[in-house]
Structure 1
Amino acid sequence: MKNQILTVRPYNAATDLPTLLDIWFEASLRAHPFLGEHRLREERILMETEYLPKSENWVACDQGEPIGFIGLLDTFVGGLFIAPAHQGKGAGRLLTAHALELKGRLELEVYTDNQQAYAFYEKLGFREVSRRRTDDHGLPFENARMRLTG
Structure 2
Amino acid sequence: MLFIEPDYRGQGLGKALLSYAVEHCQATEVDVNEQNPQAVDFYLKFGFKVIGRSELDGMGKPYPLLHLSLN
Q: Say whether the fold is shared (TM-score over 0.5).
A: yes
Which residue among 28, 49, 54 is the counterpart of 1:132? 54
Matched, 1:100 2:18: no
Which residue among 64, 67, 71 is the counterpart of 1:145? 67
- Equivalent position amino acid for 1:95 in 2: L
Residue 103 (structure 1) shift: 3.0
- Equivalent position amino acid for 1:148 in 2: L
- Equivalent position amino acid for 1:100 in 2: V
**What fraction of aligned residue pairs are identical, expressed as a percent?**
35
Which residue number in structure 1 is paired with residue 31 of structure 2? 109
Alignment length (residue pairs): 71
**Cα distance change of structure 1 residues 113 and 102 upon mapping to structure 2, 3 Å threshold:** same
RMSD, aligned CA? 1.2
Q: Which has the higher helix share?
A: 1
- Equivalent position amino acid for 1:139 in 2: K
Q: Which has the higher contact order (CA 8 A, sep 6+)?
A: 2
Residue 109 (structure 1) shift: 0.4
Structure 1 residue ranges, 4+ long, deviating more than 2 angstroms after superposition? none
TM-score relative to the length of structure 2: 0.91
Which residue number in structure 2 is paired with residue 65 of structure 1? none
| CA displacement, residues 40-65 of structure 1 (integer Å, 9 cap, x when unaligned) | xxxxxxxxxxxxxxxxxxxxxxxxxx
Which residue number in structure 2 is paired with residue 91 of structure 1? 13
Distance, in Å, in 1 between the alignment partners of 2:41 and 2:31 is 13
Q: Which has the higher strand share?
A: 1
* Gapped regions of structure 2 (runs ≥ 5): none
Q: Which has the larger radius of gyration?
A: 1
- Equivalent position amino acid for 2:56 in 1: T
Aligned with 2:61: secondary structure?
A: coil
